Amino acid sequence: MTDTADEITARFDPETLTFNEAGLVPAIAQDHKTSEVLMLAWMNAESIARTLETGRVTYWSRSRQAFWIKGETSGNVQELVDLRIDCDRDCLLVLVRQTGPACHTGRRSCFYTGVREGREHELMTPLV
């Protein structure tokens, strides 16, 4: 048996992930071309299954207690390119093709505030 990076080890079962007490796992969305971290959201087993089935990234909204298909209302769609699982199986990396801003503030990334020398700095302005 060879040890290759492309070797398939097992059929993916979302239930093998380590979910928190609310049945959620954090999912980091990253631009598949630039590697820019766009946002962090939460997924449950069903939202993962929907994402894999449709290719449209679907999260679980903790505030609305409902599924949230990224871009469904804003048009700022996240198309799934690859889904990765961290070594502890308690966090996901969702590589996406992002249309428009990822952040609800209109910015490309939700991580638009930097801390330098103890002060916050706005690193990007809204695109819209």
Output the six-digit token pair for 113: 């505030």
Task: Write down the CATH superfamily of domain 20-101.
Answer: Phosphoribosyl-AMP cyclohydrolase (3.10.20.810)
* pLDDT tens-digit readout, 11-47: 888 888 999 999 999 999 999 999 999 999 999 999 9
Per residue in 36-75, pLDDT (tens digit) is 999 999 999 999 999 999 999 999 999 999 999 999 989 9
Dihedral over Cα of 13, 16, 20, 23: its sign: positive
Predicted TM-score (pTM) above 0.85: yes
Ordered by start, the domain boundaries in the chain are: 20-101
Please enumerate, by residue number, every residue annotated as part of a binding site: 86-88, 90, 103, 110
Q: How many CA atoms lie within 13 A of 89 on its CB side?
A: 9
- Residue 64 burial (CB count, 10 A): 8
Residue 117 C-alpha from the chain's centroid: 30
Q: Which residue numbers belong to the known binding site for Mg(2+)?
A: 86, 88, 90
Residues annotated within a binding site for Zn(2+) = 87, 103, 110
Give the separation between CA 42 and CA 115, rounded to whole angstroms.
25
Nearest to 31 by CA among 91, 102, 86, 85: 102
Rounded Cα distance between 124 and 107, Å, is: 7
